[in-house]
Structure 1
Amino acid sequence: MTPQANFMVLAPIAAARRTELEQLLHSMNDAPGRVNAANPLIPFTQFDTLHFARLVILNDGTLNDVRAYGGAPAPSYPLYLAFLGDIDGEVDSFFKELARRAGDGLRKIFSCCEGFTAGADLVSWMKEHPAPAIAAYVNWRSRTVLQIHEEAALREALLNQVRTNRDEFRDLPPRQTQRKLRQFVEAEVSSGHLKLTPPKTTPLIWWIENALHLIGVPLLGLLLLPFLILIAPIYIFCLRRLEKTDPELCWRVDQADSDRLSRFEDHYVTNQFNAMGSLKPGRVRLFTLIGVLNTVDYAARHFVPRGRLGRIRTIHFARWVFLDDKKRMVFFSNYDGTVESYMDDFINKTGFGLNAVFSAGIGYPRTNWLVRDGCGDEQKYKDFLRRHTLPSQVWYKAYPGLTAIDLERNTLLRKGLEVSSMSEQEAREWVALL
């Protein structure tokens, strides 16, 4: 199989070049929220291992929230440009391909950032400006962009075959339908009309790293267990005291700001989402967040079933990234549906996890024992999240029109064709996927 990876290049924007950068990013779109996938700066369609990409100006409008803790002055952070993506294979190889196919465009974009010079080695510069995720989620590990396109074409071919021969298929039992369509696909593949590329061999280094991570994290937990038990009463006391006194900053956003965000949303079946904010001060909150996110990352990597984050089936990729020496955090995701349905999914299906992670953010609705309450106050949570939402100046998806559920269905269709014999019930379930 081909593992997925992600990258994020983060660089401060030169103040005098911000307007120029905004104009460059705007030129990559046909309209706000609608990328020109073949734009001359970064021709996304030329990268056949790229699932999603975005360029975001991380303009945090909530810096003054820290004043809720003792009236401290708002900190001064750089205004960053973030360039991030989700890919098949290795980041190093992808960076080299980026430099080869989009070098001139990337140089124009990065020239608006501090420290970038005309003679800079592009690949080296991107590697020198990383922002690694502390936790990441992949909807279906090993499913490549190539596989997605081939399986979408497969389903379309199956549907066309059934429609064209409607009378022939109308009264066929499910097992015979599956057998007949299997023969059809074999003929189409043999003739070259369809391609179903077999998966590549999984790199040995990936297996080794994955096994070490699977074993190493629990071992580290066991080593730390006596210490964690010892400090647990103190930790619980401190956490509960903080939870009872944390300020809530959940007022509704200005309508003009909400309208500005809406211009970038709901153009396709899939949306981009960026949320950014400052973290609550103190080691208790920080260590709690680090522990929770490492747990999320470990579970997503080893135990979460393919196609599901808890009970949520609409997220393609997601990640959490610390900024500014863990003083701030940004969350990125690609999800199906509207922003309203996205928030409802989190509240109703993984509210406890939502509280455990985002309660570390300044102003989040107060939690109770870390996982209770919080987003249970739906309106407060939605107002909080909207305040922290940022638009993506440029956002690209390699397979527009296909939801995560569509991708799972197409994969199951293909798997069903690889089975030589099915029970009647299995065949009935497979035919229903059409």
Structure 2
Amino acid sequence: MPHQLAVTIRAPVPPERVADVRRVLAEANAKGPFGTYFHLSDVKGIHFARLLLVPEGPGGSRAGMPASVVYMSEVDAPLHEHLADLVRKAGDELGEVFAHCDGYPQGDASARARIAWLRAHRVPHEAFYVNTVGRGRTQILREARLHAAIQEFLDEHGSALKGAGPARLRAAVQEYVAGRDDLAWARSRPVPPALWWRIRQAVHLVAVPLAVLALLPFLVFALPVWTVLLRLHELRDVPSRARPAREHERELAGYEDFVAQNPFTAVGSVKPGRFRRITLTVILFVVDYGVRHFYNRGDLAGVKTIHFARWLFVDGGRRVIFASNYDGSLESYMDDFIDKVAWGLNAVFGNGLGYPRVRWLVGAGAKDELAFKYYLRCHQLPTQVWYSAYDTLTTHNIDTNTRIRAGLFARLGPAETEAWLALL
């Protein structure tokens, strides 16, 4: 199985063309919701994808913060296959949007030219969370079909199997699956990500702590100074009292709660000054290290409903885009974070202009629930085009399907067999 990548392509839009981009995206959504118009379901390896307009920042183009078209996707590696397939399957439709950006190869331009343009406009992320690293799109869809097939078998043969013990019932399911050529893959374990990638991950896991250890004498001196500077900055912070406009909320609601999952996209300005930029860069580095090596098995510090999430700098580090794909409603999503990881929200978003007042980096902030929700909603962007490869599956469903596949032909004792049957 491949590992997963966060692909972000961002291209500035001249001010006079912003309205045209907004119109094209709205028309694309009307022609086919959930990425239908862009044929995203045909592009190999996509888990989620979105296409949206990010508005200009303070000062606009003159300040180097122009409006932009942003394409984001969470895909199975390798990158070159994704970009090639994206251009092959959705190049013309994407061209209708990116044509409003300078330099996009149009008309009879070659696929190679379009791929090169997309690569040139890629934006690296600072941190990227994957619910379960190495679980590819093919595996997720296959395991969902396996669960459905087993359920259909049990529904159809329920009367004949009535009264059968757990071992006999599981044996019947095994026999049924073994007899179907299209489910032959279920008898083997998923292939892990490539060895070279796993080696690189292991090196990164060890190298970062060693680097921190080497810097320890400097950190012992710098940390008290940074702590004092942090508190001085916090005392000067001015929280925003803005509330989301009703028109903005109605527009956001128009793109939410149609399937089991929702997209969230937000953009905000980093508080001015080098201190805040450096602080946020270090915090996001720590976040990326944590989600890369520890929070990569379905649990982000207690929050289990997120499929993917990413943080990235734009506009020379003066703004940050946050994007995620999550289960359920936005209200439950925000409540989950506030209840379980408010300190993490404060550490990251507390460096954003207008965020509720924070104490000592991790205190207060999101604990002011209403102010925090207003802040997020004000900075949230309409995700005009969004696609999910498995929009009926929550993270819980996906994990259950994986456990069913893992236990189907494994050696299980009586108690484990009963636990396995309880998943069905």
Runs of 5+ unmatched residues, structure 1? 65-73
Once the 2 structures are TM-superposed, how far is the Cα of residue 429 of structure 1 from its aligned partner?
Answer: 1.5
Could you say which residue in structure 2 is the equivalent of 1:71?
none
Q: Distance in 1 between matches of 2:105 and 2:119?
A: 15
1:194 CA displacement = 6.4
1:5 aligns to 2:5 (yes or no): yes
The CA deviation at 1:221 is 1.2
* Cα drift, residue 218 of structure 1: 1.3
Mapped pair 1:234 → 2:225: yes
CA distance in structure 2 between the partners assigned to 1:194 and 1:31 by the alignment:
38
Q: What is the TM-score with the length of structure 2 in the denominator?
A: 0.93
Q: Which of residues 97, 102, 113 is equivalent to 1:109?
A: 97
Q: Once superposed, what is the RMSD of the aligned Cα atoms?
A: 2.1
State whether residues 140 and 398 of structure 2, in contact with CA within 8 Å, keep that contact through their aligned partners in structure 1. yes
Match 1:291 to one of 282, 285, 290: 282
Q: Deviations over 1:218-241 (max 9, x none)?
A: 122112221111111111111112
Aligned pairs for 1:376-395 (under 5 A) are 376-395=367-386
Q: What amino acid does structure 1 have at the position aligned with 2:34? A: V
Q: CA deviation at 1:320?
A: 0.1
| Compared CA separation, residues 325 and 175, structure 1 to 2 (3 A) | same
Deviates more, 1:328-337 or 1:295-304: 295-304
Q: Which of 409, 417, 424 lines up with 1:427 in the alignment?
A: 417
Alignment of 1:84-123 (within 5 A): 84-118=72-106, 119=109, 121-123=113-115
| Aligned-partner Cα distance in 2 for 1:147–1:50 | 12
Q: Deviations over 1:70-127 (max 9, x none)?
A: xxxx956110110110111111221112222222223332211023343471011111
Structure 1 60/265 Cα, relative in aligned 2: closer, same or farther at 3 Å?
farther
Whether 1:183 aligns to 2:168 is no
Distance 1:31 1:338 in 2: 25
| AA aligned opposite 1:432 | A
Q: Is the Cα–Cα contact under 8 Å of residues 105 and 117 in structure 2 kept in the other structure?
A: no
- Per the normalisation by structure 1, the TM-score is 0.91
Offset at residue 164 of structure 1 (A):
1.2
**Residue 312 (structure 2) aligns with:** 321
Most deviating of 396-405 and 207-216? 207-216
Q: How does 1:412-423 map to 2 (within 5 A)?
A: 412-419=403-410, 421-423=411-413
Check the 8 A contact 2:56/2:66 in 1, yes or no.
no
Aligned to 2:39, which of 43, 62, 65? Answer: 43
Q: 1:89 to 1:262 in 2, by over 3 A?
A: same
- Note if 1:353 corresponds to 2:352: no
Identity of aligned residues (%): 37
Q: Which amino acid aligns with 1:158?
A: I
CA distance in 2, matches of 1:24, 1:158: 43
Corresponding position of 1:273: 264
Unaligned runs of 5+ in 2: none
Farther-moved stretch of structure 1 (169-178 vs 267-276): 169-178
> Displacement, 1:195?
5.2
Q: Which amino acid aligns with 2:212?
A: G
State the one-letter code of the partner of 1:320.
W
Give the superposition deviation at 1:426. Answer: 1.3
Contact 1:30 1:36 (C-alpha < 8 Å) held by counterparts: no
| 2:250 equivalent to 1:254 | no
Q: Which residue of 1 aligns with 2:126?
A: 134
SS in 2 for 1:28: helix
Letter in 2 for 1:125: W
**Aligned CA distance change for structure 1 residues 240 and 169 (closer, same or farther; 3 Å):** farther
Per-residue CA shift, 1:178-237, capped at 9, x if unaligned? 23212221112x3x3665486446334312321221122112211222111111111111
8 Å CA contact 1:366, 1:373 repeated in 2: yes
* Partner secondary structure for residue 215 of structure 2: helix
Mapped contact 1:12–1:78 kept (Cα < 8 A): yes
Superposition deviation, residue 174 in structure 1? 2.6
Contact 2:270 2:353 in 1 (8 A): yes
Instruction: Please state how far the C-alpha of 1:137 moved relative to its aligned partner.
Output: 0.3
Q: For residue 28 of structure 1, what is the aligned residue in structure 2?
A: 28
Q: Do 2:21 and 2:53's aligned partners in 1 also have CA atoms closer than 8 Å?
A: no
Asked if 1:125 corresponds to 2:109, the answer is no
Question: Structure 1 pair 406/80, CA: closer, same or farther in 2 (3 Å)?
Answer: same
Q: Give the secondary structure class of the aligned counterpart of 1:86.
A: strand
Give the AA of the match of 1:263: G
Q: How many residues are treated as equivalent by the alignment?
A: 418
Post-superposition Cα deviations, 1:236-256, rounded to whole Å, max 9, x if no partner, equal: 111112222210003321112
Match of 1:166 in 2: 158
Q: CA deviation at 1:378?
A: 0.5
* Equivalent residue letter for 2:418: R
Amino acid at match of 1:80: S
Match of residue 136 from structure 2 = 144
CA distance in structure 2 between the aligned counterparts of 1:362 and 1:187, rounded to whole angstroms: 60
- Check 1:193–1:216 CA distance in 2 against 1; reply closer, same or farther (3 A cut): closer
Equivalent residues of 2:189, 2:406 under 8 A apart? no
Q: Is the 8 A contact 1:355 1:370 kept in 2?
A: yes
2-side partners of 1:272 and 1:254: how far apart?
A: 20
Cα deviation for residue 169 of structure 1 reads 3.3
